């Protein structure tokens, strides 16, 4: 029996955290892997909504910890995305695989969920990714999550790891104007001269974005003010073009 949204009673009970109802339904041998219109199983629904007790019941009864929905998201990834640390802990204990194209660690980093980041790092999740995918550190830098960055840096071998476009954590932080992230990366030895595929260094991005505090931090950190991008523009040229009298 399903409702108009193609949900079974088990899915509805799981999504709303009604553990006693979930137990009753499972004792009647309903399909524990039933899916709704988005291909979400009861476990996926419970994990996404942070219902740790229901997640425990479903796993105890044999629910697949690696089930995926129509977007190829697992219970672990959905729990990490929504910041449900207790659910993440249960899933990891049950052997949930943290290694997917877009990892739970990347998701937790974007949300700034330090407790989940700690759990995932402790479980052995890699801070590196395959070619073409974003690294957790570059995502943290882009979002300015300095505390998340500090956790990751303690596990990162190459702080200057480049994405496919040549961007490093430092250039991502500079582009978005996150001065705290810039100072942390420079303090940890990030290469201030690293160039993106456009030959732009972090200084070019900060000047283009009008991020004066970041520009000052980069210059103090040794950025080459004479460095030229693919158009042969220096940081001074870019500041003059935009009318930035402070930087000029």
pLDDT confidence of residue 237: 85
Output the six-digit token pair for 238: 């870019």
Residue ranges for the chain with pLDDT beneath 50: 131
Delineate the domains of the chain, giving CATH numbers in brackets.
1-96 (1.25.40.20)
pLDDT confidence of residue 21: 96
pLDDT confidence of residue 81: 85
pLDDT confidence of residue 131: 43
* Number of alpha carbons in the 13 Å side-chain half-sphere of residue 166: 10
pLDDT confidence of residue 242: 66
Give me the long-range contacts of 162-168 (CB less than 8 A, separation at least 24): 162/194, 163/134, 163/135, 163/138, 164/131, 164/132, 165/196, 165/197, 166/195, 166/196, 166/197, 166/198, 167/138, 167/196, 168/138, 168/194, 168/196, 168/202
pLDDT confidence of residue 150: 94
pLDDT confidence of residue 169: 95
Q: How far apart are CA 103 and CA 21, in angstroms?
A: 32
Prediction pTM value: 0.71
pLDDT confidence of residue 127: 80
């Amino acid at each position: 029996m399903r409702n108009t949204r193609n949900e079974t009673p088990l899915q509805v009970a799981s999504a709303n955290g009604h553990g006693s109802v979930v137990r009753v339904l499972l004792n009647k041998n309903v399909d524990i892997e039933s899916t709704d219109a988005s291909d979400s199983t009861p476990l996926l629904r419970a994990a996404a909504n942070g219902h740790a007790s229901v997640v425990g019941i479903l796993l105890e009864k044999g629910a697949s910890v690696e089930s995926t929905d129509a977007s190829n998201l697992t219970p672990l990834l959905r729990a990490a995305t929504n910041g449900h640390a207790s659910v993440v802990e249960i899933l990891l204990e049950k052997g949930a695989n943290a290694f997917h194209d877009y990892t739970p660690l990347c998701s937790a980093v974007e949300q700034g969920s330090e407790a989940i980041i700690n759990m995932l790092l402790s479980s052995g999740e890699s801070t590196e990714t395959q070619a073409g995918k974003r690294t957790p550190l570059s995502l943290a830098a882009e979002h300015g999550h300095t505390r998340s960055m500090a956790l990751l840096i303690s596990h990162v071998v190459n702080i200057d790891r480049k994405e496919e476009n040549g961007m490093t954590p430092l250039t991502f932080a500079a582009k978005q104007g996150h001065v705290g992230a810039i100072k942390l990366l420079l303090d940890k030895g990030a290469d201030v001269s690293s160039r993106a595929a456009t030959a732009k260094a972090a200084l070019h991005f900060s000047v283009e974005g009008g991020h004066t505090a970041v520009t000052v931090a980069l210059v103090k950190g040794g950025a080459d003010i004479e460095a030229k991008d693919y158009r042969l523009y220096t940081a001074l040229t870019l500041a003059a073009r935009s009318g930035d009298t402070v930087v000029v």
